Amino acid sequence: MTKIDWYILRKFISTFIYSLSILLVISIVIDITEKIDDFMNSNLSFYRIVVDYYFGFIPYIAALLFPLFIFISVIFFTSKMAYRTEIVAILCSGVSFRRFLRPYWVGAFLFGGLLWAGNRWTVPTANRVRNKFENVYVDRKKAQENLYDKTMRIDSFTYVTFGSYDPNYKSGGNFLLEDIRGQQMDLKMKADRISWDSVAGKWKLSSVTIRTINGLKEHWVNSPDTAIKIPLRPEEMKEEKNKEQSMTTPELNKYIHREELKGAEGLNVLYVERYRRTSSAAAVVILTLIGAIIASKKVRGGSGLHLAVGIVISASYIIFLQFSTVFSIKASLNPLLAVWIPNVMFGILALWLYFRAPK
C-alpha cells in the first residue's frame, strides 16, 4: 500500500461514513414521524426510546442499505477524482488500471467482512431489541390478540390444532392432536382445554378423548385430565414478525435443523435469510468494483452522470433481488440460487466493464 493507495482508501472510508450518517439521520426522522403517536402513548422517556428501540433500529437500517451506499459512495468520490484528472495522472505515471484498483479491493473486503460479521451476530441482536419494542408499544394490539384455529406440524407425523389460544395465560381451548402416517391416521386426541405446566414442562389437558386406530379396529378412551409432552413450547405459539431476522446465524441454523426434523413447510423464508447474510457481503465487493470502473472514466457530465448511472444500477440490483427472493418464498426457486442470482449477474457485468475499461 503506497501513499496514493492510502489516499484513495481514506476517501473511500470517509465518504462512506459521511453518506451512511446522512442516510441514518434521514431514516430516523422518517421513522419518528411514523411512530410519534406510539411513542407519545408509551409514556417512555426519550432515553428509554433511544436505548430500547433506536439502538436496534440503526444497525438494522444500516445493514439493509449497506451495499447500495457503498456503491454510491465509491461512485461519488471516484468521479470527483476523475473530474480533477487525478486518475489520469495516476495511470500516466505507469500505474496499471489493475494496480489502481487495489485500494478499492482492500476497502471492499474490509466493509464486506464487517457486514458479514454484523449480519451473523450484531444485526440479529439489534433486531431482537427492535422487534421486542415494536411488539410491546407499536403492534401491541396485534401482540395481545388471541390466536384462533392455529394448526402446526410439530414433527414428521404429528399435527396439533388450537381452536383458541391466549399467549398471556399460555392456555387455549378445543385442542386437537392427530398422528398421521402416510394416508392412515393412527391417533386422534381431543381436549376441551389445554394449558402449559412450566414446572413439569408438559401440556395439561382437560376433558380428553383419545381415539386410537389400528386398521379396521378403533379404541376410545375418555379421561377427565391428562398431561402430554410434545415438542412444542409456548414461545413457539407467539406470532412474531420476522422472527428469523432476530436470530444469530448459529441460532438460525439450529432452528432450521429443528424445523427440518419436524417436516415443517415454508422453510424457504429461513433459507433465504441464512444465505442472504453472506450474499449481501459479497455484493459489497461486486458493487465496489462496478462503481470504481464506471466512475474512473472522465466524462462531460461529471459526477452527476456517474451518480445517475449508479442509481439505475442500484435500482436494478434491488429489483432483481426482490424478484428472485419472492420466487423462492412463494414458488419453488432454490433459496441459495435466489439470493445469489443478482450477485452472479452483476459479477458478470463487473467483469465485462473491467475488460472494456480504458487501461
List residues bridging with 147 in a β-sheet.
165
Of 203-207, 306-310, 333-337, least confident by mean pLDDT is: 306-310
Does pLDDT of 285 surpass 90?
A: yes
Ranges 15-19, 24-28, 120-124, 354-358: which has the least confidence:
354-358
Rounded to an integer, the average pLDDT of 321-328 is: 87
Look at residue 347 in the predicted model and tell me its pLDDT. 94
Of 39, 244, 233, 46, the residue nearest 133 (C-alpha): 39
Radius of gyration, CA atoms only, the chain? 27
Quick one: cell of 81?
477524482
Q: How confident is the model at residue 17 (pLDDT cuts 50, 70, 90)?
A: very high
pLDDT of 262 strictly over 80: no
Three state DSSP letters for 321-332: HHHHHHHHHHCC
Kindly tell me if the per-residue pLDDT of 173 is higher than 90.
yes
* Dist CA 42 CA 36 (whole Å): 10
Structure-block grid coordinates of residue 318:
434491488
CA distance 27 to 29: 5
- C-alpha closest to that of 57 among 171, 134, 163, 144: 134
pLDDT at 181 over 90: no
* Average pLDDT of span 144-169: 82
Give 143-200 as a DSSP string: HHSPEEEEEEE-SSSEEEEEEEEETTTTEEEEEEEEEEETTEEEEEEEEEEEEEETTT
Nine-digit cell string for 60: 438494522
Give pLDDT, residue 137: 84
Average pLDDT, the chain: 89
- What's the confidence (pLDDT) of residue 101? 95
H or E stretch at 52: none
